[in-house]
Chains A and B, each alone.
Chain A
Amino acid sequence: MTTKQKRYESLVQVYNKELYRFAYWLCQDPTIAEDLVQETFLRAWRSLDALQDDSAAKSWLLTILRRENARRFERKQFDYADVEQDTLVDATSASPDSQTEQMMVQRQINLLSPEYREPLLLQVVMGCSGEEIAQILELNKNTVMTRLYRARNQLKEALTQVTETAKGASN
């Protein structure tokens, strides 16, 4: 096996799971998430020589993945299916009883606006530092820290409200 191949495979082993999770929460669709991750690694393979320092690999892969995701919206879609009514995957139709805490948390995270959600995902799912997030999102670090603060603040408030409503309803 070539050195390049070995290097590539170890990148795949280390980052595939985290990247998939990040991609999933970014687009909220398992099939698209899988495509995004595969495409990201394929592009990474093609330009692996450009990655000089492996400690920058995570940011590099995330940058590729975000670009791929943005490309998805640029591609012209053939307008056959009516998107608003598409109910192929119906994951959220569970009864209120089975709405566990986790689902409530997931729901609230999805309700965050993208500018708050994305830095939070990078921090919690990808374990990125403030500096790394700033670099990936091309923002300054103070902006990133403010958004992270607001993201947690909003989540906490929303979840407190939801829990209290649930308690009220069960009384």
Chain B
Amino acid sequence: MDELEFRRRLFADPNDKDVIAQADTDSAKQRLVKEMQDFDATLHSALDISVPDDLVQKILAKQQADTDTSSKQSAEVKQLAWYRRFKAPLATAASALLAVSLYFATSVHAPLKASEHALQHVYYEAEALALTNEVQLQVVNEKLAMFGGKLESMPGKVTYATFCNFKGQRSLHLIFQSEHGPVTVFIVPTDSNDAAGANERFADERFGGSIKPGERADTILVANLDTPLEQYQTAVNDSLRWL
């Protein structure tokens, strides 16, 4: 094994026994072996991050749930068999119909209203509502600065701040924690030709929302039904400054 080969193999695997044996009579090589083994110990400890405590329980719970469903399914399989034969083509036809009708509904006849989009958006990112780590106001303002805006304060701890696409308009999506639960705020700059329009209240069975058009941006709030949205809408709008 020549120098180069020795080096290549040692770098590829500092614990390669053949390579280590080669260094036996050569102190320079021994030093390099030691150096590379130390280097690997450094790599190892840098990569040795902590593992969530409950990982094993979660894995086993998931498997247990899977076992339960699959044994239940095999018991039901006989009764369902005749029905299932029809279900697949029907489902395909239904989803094709849905796709076609959605296409026409969204692209030709009725563009999605801001209120509907806001609700859909909140449902889509529902996981974000559960976040608890605070996002500093400064971080929010760094983002908002891109629209030329600034928030003096927020009526609660901000736990989510990200740019998003609101009906094609680059907007800021915030969540703050109120006494009544998480409140989602969309700040949508109004230089788009598809502004939200007049003051508007909307709701579905879970969330209520309000839209307040502004000169520079519309603010749209979405929160649990019992949340006093006007109060928060005013607080947000009053603390919003434009450069």
Contacts and interface: CB of A to CB of B under 8 A. Distances in A.
A80 B165 contact: yes
A103 B61 CA distance: 34
A49 to B, nearest CB: 14
Contact of A21 (B8, B51, B60, B63): B51
Contacts of B162: 81-82, 85-88
Contacts of B11: 148-149, 152-153
A41 B63 contact: yes
Contacts of B160: 88
Interface string A111-132: 0000000001101110000100
A109 B62 contact: no
Given A106-B46, A121-B47, A130-B12, A85 B55 contact: no
B121 interface: yes
A105 B13 contact: no
A45 B164 CA distance: 38
A16 B51 contact: yes
Contact of A16 (B13, B55, B170): B55
B52 to A, nearest CB: 6
Grouping DSSP codes into helix (H, G, I), strand (E, B) and loop, the B interface class, with mixed when no group exceeds half, is: helix
Nearest to A30: B52
A153 B45 CA distance: 18
Given A9-B60, A85-B163, A109-B43, A148 B66 contact: no
B42 interface: yes
B86 interface: no
B66 A46 contact: yes
A125 B165 CA distance: 39
A102 B45 contact: yes
B8 A37 contact: no
Contacts of B43: 105, 109, 120, 124, 155
B62 A41 contact: yes
Contacts of B63: 8, 41-42, 45
B56 A125 contact: no
B109 to A, nearest CB: 22
A42 B60 contact: no
Contact of A37 (B13, B55, B143, B173): B55
A80 B161 CA distance: 13
B56 A12 contact: yes
A122 to B, nearest CB: 11
B49 interface: yes
A79 B36 contact: no
A41 B60 CA distance: 9
Contacts of B8: 145-146, 149
Nearest to A82: B163
A60 interface: no
Contacts of A38: 58-59, 62
Given A9-B60, A82-B164, 14 more contacts: A8-B63, A16-B59, A21-B51, A37-B59, A42-B62, A45-B67, A80-B125, A82-B162, A85-B143, A86-B163, A90-B139, A105-B43, A106-B47, A149-B11
12 contacts: A13-B56, A16-B51, A38-B58, A80-B124, A81-B125, A85-B163, A124-B43, A149-B9, A149-B11, A152-B36, A152-B39, A155-B43
Counting from the closest, the 4 A-B pairs by CB-CB distance are A105-B46, A82-B163, A148-B12, A145-B12
